[in-house]
Amino acid sequence: MKNQSIHLPIFPLPVFLLPEGITRLRIFEPRYLKMVSVAAQGEGFVICFKTKDEQLTNKMWGSWVEIINFGQGEDGILEVDVKCKSLVELQSINTRDNDLHYSSVTHLEHWPATDVKTDPLIDKLSKSLSEVFEQNKMLSELYPEIPADNPTWIVARWLELLPIVHSSKNNLINKYSFEQAKDFVQTIIY
């Protein structure tokens, strides 16, 4: 989908998710149950970071996700695990199907793969991330393996987990911001 546009359902939600990130969503509203049904049969959907007070607008970015697992919580609510395929930019937003938002989206380039053989900082970040995952049952279920030799994956997961305002994280999604993101994470963690 490098330069072509595709039309996808939008799930406005305050979730920050970068490529290869996984999250578990609890779905109970009828329009989002419909979205899951549509997404399971097609190309997935887009999680667009949005607070209650914000409006969806063109040029916002989102995480294009695919459904990787279905389940049911102890309370009977549908739980859906999704994995981010890529980042996308919203264009031509419209509403249909029980107030479900749709948008044409185009691919946004994210950090290129980084081939760093030895980086002491990445080693430290990887070890501390492993500890966090081991202490959190849901994270260890979602991520049974941590690619310790993948610096972009390690930094992306830290950015997703850190309880920092979205606007600070938002500055770190462009394709040239990996080093800045790594330094930012290091400053917070250490």
Q: Fold for domain 6-108?
A: 2.30.130
Using an 8 Å Cβ cutoff, are 80 and 69 in contact? yes
Domain ranges in the chain are 6-108, 120-189
Comparing 11 with 2, which gets the higher pLDDT?
Answer: 11
- Percent of the chain at pLDDT above 90? 62
CA nearest neighbour of 116 among 151, 147, 146 = 151
3-state secondary structure of 42: coil
The pLDDT of residue 97 is 65
- Which residue bears the tokens 């946004």? 108
Question: Looking at residues 114-125, what average pLDDT do you find?
Answer: 78
Which own/partner contact pairs does 36-39 have at CB distance under 8 Å and 24+ positions apart? 36/67, 36/78, 36/80, 38/9, 38/97, 39/8, 39/9, 39/66, 39/67
Per residue in 76-94, pLDDT (tens digit) is: 999 999 999 999 999 988 8
Q: What percent of the chain has pLDDT over 70?
A: 94
Q: Is the separation of the CB atoms in 68 and 84 below 8 Å?
A: no
The structure's pTM equals: 0.91
